[in-house]
Structure 1
């Protein structure tokens, strides 16, 4: 801490000499910077040396101590601690010294210790004030350094909460906000690429992109009007502009979009709220800007949308035919990919066929409802890993963070078609298992009177559906397969030496000529010819 300096003034030189010799000032951390024997010299000394403490007699030639300090107080910015001493106990002197802000008043004769005590008290007060001043300067410096952040935080609150105009004016001054308090428009901005939840950009590049875009927008707007750019979430910003109602704000937004594209190679979309007159309406303009930006859902990336240009259809609810959904779920359940794709395309077109865009949240919820219906059908037969994938996709859809209808429709179609492929594969496996069960049943009962109805009942299918599946999987009708299996069995029995008549009854035929005719049709030989041929071999 800086040393404390002191000046002495008395018209009696012996008094000054005595104070200088008797008191070890340096040991007390005080340096004597000058002495004077009259008021004029004293005033000049104080102005030159600017001491922290002045020890002065009240009555001196040419100018009294009182007059000297009075003039000093009127002309000097920094006023020292003044300690008066005098041989007069005149109350008027004491009263005037207090009025002038004297630190203390001593009567002669005084002791050395009295002088030391009063000077040390003055020193302690000066040091305390210096510490306070240092702390205050540090706080002021920190405040200046924090002002940009504090202004950002204040505006983040201001666009979301009401503020009385008189309180806002006070904070305007406190935070050094270089804007008027009337006439505002709020814009909501997003970096389109960063809105994609599946972006693969590293975090450092995301941060740098956001920083660059913010700087470009600030520089662009500062050339045209007053305002502030607030950073919200990563890749999202709010701009508060202070301008007249007839200002071309869309041209400013276009300049921002162009410069960001030109200098940072990023695409941005901007929603523009309505002009509002006062601070109290900032929140309204902000909500309008967010609503306008949400309609980028229909326009796609790199767009500027003004709230006043939105043809809102609040009364209109987008929908699609319930019959189409029912048919879609049937196709999905049966693994019919072609039908699933066709119906998903038809439903999407029906939903997006509107005279004016409905609320994006309503549209997102509509498609989420369709996705949930498909999810329930697919999840019934999904394997554990497939179920995890389904759950993850459905959660992402529920969040509704889609930047365009094409992204939303793409995810809904992906869910439906992927699920359809799973069910189709599962169905093929199930069909193969059922047909194998039917073939085994036939092979074990070749001697019985086998029918389609009987075998269909074994695998728990309707006869017509079983017949179609059987022919599709085996390549022949059920009865054609039974006949073929019996003929193959007949070959084995003939080679084992069984008589034709016995084979006829063994395989469920009642008429030997009919059996022989079927055998010849199947092999090109009668049973006897077949046996003779292979016995010779």
Structure 2
């Protein structure tokens, strides 16, 4: 509903305008009235309106003087329509000079007024769409700069742009926020199953985070991870947030978590990275948040927390509580792909744990030590494999079954799959041929719901390792490679057809128009509509 201000020194004119048409039906709300330009200015200093309907001749300040003052002093950029009993062209010329939308002669006819209002509504809609496009572009550009810092691939320009948009007072943590889809026994919540359901819930989660943060909404970023299985929200937490809320860090995050869970009516989990002193060190906090996320898959029921913290320095203090010999034996069996010994070594480890009646926290400590060993084994096999890629394997492909986290069966299955993973890292002869076939398959089926898991099954290769081969060969993740190809095909359809955005979106494999437009802006620097117009011009 657009707000309108009437300005006229004749009360019966003001009354007549208010009943001349059904303003609500036409999409307008009468915000107020004023007897002259001075009264109008006083009103506008405390009230916002979208349209001003003013008489041209009034005492104290005329309609033309009001229009000139509003524009030259920047008091209001509301649309302006002049009402006048004079048809002198000079009046109209001056009105148009200051951006007057229309010039209507008295007595005002209903049809003429409605036509002028339709013009205002059309212009207002166009301006709103432009602002939304600009906001989308600005948000996408900001996200690119912030993700560069999160990934540790940034320069001074990235830092300056990001710090100009968001406060970074005090210490900083990266916090990964996700829907908790672990489907715990006895839970009343049904985890999302399809990609569309996950994306919809992710958008609700993102909006609830923005609502909680308010003016600090720039600290929240949509879709940080390059893993297509992840539907994450990134939060750049700064010390001042808890301080200004009068809380400590734990209480603030508990409050944050409770608020967003209540908003989306679904369990949410947070993975908290190490605290760093400056935003330039954000990639370290991001790395440790990923480790907290990966380790959480192994935590037994007693450690089933909604906020998972990871502090590397604190964890080293308990090394004397490790069953180091058993853990090292299991790591060697995994490295040697000795699947005959792996089940027995896992059983031996759990027997030791049970005999010592260790609590859930100490069980997690032992599992964490094993994971560190396995991460180092993968890096020793291939120095080009980065830690994040290994953690993606740990957090993803090993946990597709319904086995209980922390159980013997779970650890046995993971250890055997990780042994295969290490074996494939060693055997790189598959790289060229398989990737060529996969690339061709993507070109033929890019509009379908392609996943690394399905491609791995089709071409008999571990999906996590296939993802690493993509990154090494093409310089981007599988998800980004597929997105880039889809966007290029979308650009081709924009150039060579008259298809609508939503038709092109479905044609190239997307199911959410906002997501498609955001991806297009990130790749091409403008919206699909602007891209089509610019190229055709």
TM-score after normalising by structure 2: 0.36
Larger Rg: 1
| Higher RCO (CA < 8 A, seq sep 6+) | 2
Normalized against structure 1, the TM-score is what? 0.36
